[in-house]
């Protein structure tokens, strides 16, 4: 099936993109006011009439939608269509409290598959590719979303789902998988396992598409080197389709997002003010075409910025930066705000340090201390790597941290997302 090209492809700057989005935005605001009791009440409480919102800038007047509101709406009170229009639900993992249930219409399912197919087309997946889909299926959005994208594009899906590394490698070798999809943690685990077993000459991978967690440049470089593949960072969240709403292209200059279906705003996470393109802040998303559960100004808590430059790939879809961290991942130590992304950055610039680390926070006699455990590349002096990391953390982040260097492979590897921050402070 051909991928529909949209008018937005001809846009050349933000003003044109905003103009195009504003037409759809007006319709969206009218639609949610009419069909969603949740939004009608929200707008009424804020004293906003739908006719006041006609441009992306006007969105600044509209209150944000938060994750806790979606949780409070459990299971289906944010549904904005009659139930007979809903063909499927997905759910967030619900690790803290009730999960969020997201209803999808037939059209939502179709658009999501098209967006996912666009992601794959952008990174060079073709109908000749064989794509191993290792994320989970079921309530979780990832597996089925990738699968639908692969099928829409016309490639061959190998739906292994998560875990069972033995089986994954068997399928990868026997079916000559060319594209691997999963979390970056699992990509790293498979890369290391392939090297440990010495089976690289039986692996035909050429691309990896990884998402669902932030991964450092160093980890990325290791996966690329070990597997001899190019890798791509795919972005998304369960509340808004799932993965597939943005991806980086073969130039890796930023993450292109589908501005004909989604408005991306960057706000100051503290004051809530809209920031200009180029400024770093929290990503807030408005869904322009979603029917089952449209969202207006949904706070993602992901820290990034809108990227103004034209990408050398020629795509007119605008970009965001790779996600630096989450507002709720921010760690406050000794009065300094730190994002784990900054530790990634320090490790990248420290020779002999691997990508894997843990941050352990403790408090003794009302004094915070921070210990960073980092793996050193084989053959390096552990003490030297630890000292160099410590120096770079002091210079780049401005705090004194204890650093312990460990031999390569000693920190745990995960098939899902790696837990890196352990805050053992009592209060
Ligand atoms: Zn590009």
Nearest to 100 by CA among 116, 111, 89: 89
What is the whole-number distance in angstroms between the Cα of residue 245 and the centre of ligand 1?
15
For the chain, what is the mean pLDDT?
A: 91
The pLDDT of residue 7:
40
Q: Region 305-332: what's the mean pLDDT?
A: 87
What is the whole-number distance in angstroms between the Cα of residue 255 and the centre of ligand 1?
8
Q: Region 232-255: what's the mean pLDDT?
A: 96
Q: How far apart are CA 3 and CA 56, in angstroms?
A: 27
On whether both 252 and 193 belong to a single domain, the answer is yes
The pLDDT of residue 4:
38
**What would the pLDDT profile of 198-237 be if each residue is shown by its tens digit?**
999 999 999 999 997 778 888 899 999 999 999 999 999 9
The pLDDT of residue 271:
87
Q: Is the dihedral of CA 381, 383, 385, 391 positive or negative?
A: negative
Enter the tokens of residue 133.
């889909």
What is the whole-number distance in angstroms between the Cα of residue 313 and the centre of ligand 1?
4
The pLDDT of residue 83:
96
What is the whole-number distance in angstroms between the Cα of residue 314 and the centre of ligand 1?
6
Residue 322 vs residue 201, higher pLDDT? 201
What is the whole-number distance in angstroms between the Cα of residue 247 and the centre of ligand 1?
9
The pLDDT of residue 145:
96
How many Cα atoms are found within 13 Å in the side-chain-facing hemisphere of 233? 22
| Domain termination site, one of 285, 310, 327 | 327
What is the whole-number distance in angstroms between the Cα of residue 118 and the centre of ligand 1?
13
| Domain termination site, one of 263, 293, 327 | 327
Q: Is the peptide bond before 4 cis (omega within 30 degrees of 0)?
A: no
* Percentage of the chain exceeding pLDDT 90: 73
Q: How far apart are CA 357 and CA 324, in angstroms?
A: 16
What is the whole-number distance in angstroms between the Cα of residue 307 and the centre of ligand 1?
11
Q: Region 398-415: what's the mean pLDDT?
A: 89
Residue 427 has pLDDT above 60, yes or no: no
Question: Could you give the number of structural domains in the chain?
Answer: 2
Cβ pair 86, 79 in contact under 8 A = yes
What is the whole-number distance in angstroms between the Cα of residue 97 and the centre of ligand 1?
38
Residue 360, domain extent:
330-423
What is the whole-number distance in angstroms between the Cα of residue 180 and the centre of ligand 1?
21
Residue 2 vs residue 195, higher pLDDT? 195
On whether both 66 and 204 belong to a single domain, the answer is yes
On whether both 36 and 117 belong to a single domain, the answer is yes
On whether both 393 and 279 belong to a single domain, the answer is no
What is the whole-number distance in angstroms between the Cα of residue 262 and the centre of ligand 1?
18
* Percentage of the chain exceeding pLDDT 70: 96
What is the whole-number distance in angstroms between the Cα of residue 243 and the centre of ligand 1?
18
**What would the pLDDT profile of 69-102 be if each residue is shown by its tens digit?**
999 999 999 999 999 999 999 998 766 678 999 9
Q: How far apart are CA 121 and CA 286, in angstroms?
A: 24
On whether both 391 and 261 belong to a single domain, the answer is no
What is the whole-number distance in angstroms between the Cα of residue 64 and the centre of ligand 1?
30
What is the whole-number distance in angstroms between the Cα of residue 345 and the centre of ligand 1?
23
What is the whole-number distance in angstroms between the Cα of residue 175 and the centre of ligand 1?
30
On whether both 250 and 391 belong to a single domain, the answer is no
On whether both 84 and 169 belong to a single domain, the answer is yes
Q: In residues, how long is the chain?
A: 427
What is the whole-number distance in angstroms between the Cα of residue 68 and the centre of ligand 1?
34
Q: Region 400-413: what's the mean pLDDT?
A: 91
**What would the pLDDT profile of 154-201 be if each residue is shown by its tens digit?**
999 999 999 999 999 999 999 999 999 999 999 999 999 999 999 999
On whether both 142 and 7 belong to a single domain, the answer is yes
The pLDDT of residue 88:
97
**What would the pLDDT profile of 367-395 be if each residue is shown by its tens digit?**
888 999 999 999 999 999 999 999 999 98
Q: How far apart are CA 397 and CA 346, in angstroms?
A: 9
On whether both 323 and 385 belong to a single domain, the answer is no
Cβ pair 104, 86 in contact under 8 A = yes
What is the whole-number distance in angstroms between the Cα of residue 120 and the centre of ligand 1?
13
Q: Is the dihedral of CA 74, 162, 301, 47 positive or negative?
A: negative
The pLDDT of residue 414:
78
The pLDDT of residue 272:
92
Residue 24 pLDDT level (bands cut at 50, 70, 90): very high
On whether both 207 and 316 belong to a single domain, the answer is yes
Residue 58 has pLDDT above 70, yes or no: yes
CATH number for the domain that contains residue 197: 3.40.50.12780
| Domain termination site, one of 327, 349, 367 | 327
């Amino acid at each position: 099936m051909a991928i529909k090209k949209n008018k937005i492809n001809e846009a050349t700057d933000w003003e044109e993109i905003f103009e195009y989005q504003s037409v759809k935005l007006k319709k969206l605001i009218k639609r949610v006011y009419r069909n969603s009791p949740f939004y009608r009440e929200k707008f009424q409480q804020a004293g906003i009439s739908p006719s006041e919102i006609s441009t992306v800038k006007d969105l600044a007047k509209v209150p944000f939608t938060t994750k806790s509101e979606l949780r409070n709406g459990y299971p289906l009170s944010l549904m904005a269509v009659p139930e007979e229009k809903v063909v499927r639900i997905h759910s967030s993992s619900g690790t803290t409290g009730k999960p969020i249930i997201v209803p999808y219409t037939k059209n939502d399912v179709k658009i999501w598959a098209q967006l996912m197919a666009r992601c794959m087309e952008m990174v060079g997946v073709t109908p000749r590719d064989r794509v191993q889909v290792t994320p989970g299926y079921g309530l979780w959005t990832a597996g089925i979303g990738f699968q639908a994208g692969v099928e829409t594009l016309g490639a061959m899906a190998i739906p292994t789902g998560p875990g069972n590394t033995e089986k994954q490698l068997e399928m990868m070798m026997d079916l000559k998988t060319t594209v691997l999809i999963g979390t970056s943690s699992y990509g790293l685990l498979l890369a290391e396992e392939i090297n440990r077993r010495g089976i690289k000459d039986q692996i035909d991978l050429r691309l990896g598409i990884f998402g669902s967690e932030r991964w450092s440049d160093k980890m990325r470089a290791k996966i690329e080197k070990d597997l001899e593949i190019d890798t791509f960072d795919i972005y998304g969240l369960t509340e808004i389709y799932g993965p597939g709403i943005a991806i980086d292209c073969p130039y890796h200059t930023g993450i292109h997002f589908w501005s004909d279906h989604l408005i991306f705003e960057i706000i100051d996470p503290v004051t809530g003010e809209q920031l200009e393109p180029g400024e770093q802040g929290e990503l807030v998303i408005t869904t322009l075409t979603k029917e089952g559960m449209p969202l207006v100004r949904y706070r993602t808590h992901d820290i990034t910025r809108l990227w103004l430059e034209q990408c050398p790939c020629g795509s007119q879809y605008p970009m965001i930066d790779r996600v630096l961290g989450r507002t709720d991942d921010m760690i406050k130590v000794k009065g300094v705000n730190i994002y784990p992304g900054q530790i990634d950055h320090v490790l990248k610039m420290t020779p002999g340090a691997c990508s894997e680390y843990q941050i352990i926070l403790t408090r003794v006699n009302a004094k915070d201390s921070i210990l960073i455990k980092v793996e050193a590349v084989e053959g390096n002096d552990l003490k030297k790597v630890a000292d160099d990391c410590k120096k770079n953390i002091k210079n780049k982040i401005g705090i004194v941290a204890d650093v312990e260097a460990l031999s390569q492979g000693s920190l745990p590897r995960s098939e899902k997302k790696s837990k890196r921050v352990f805050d053992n402070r009592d209060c």
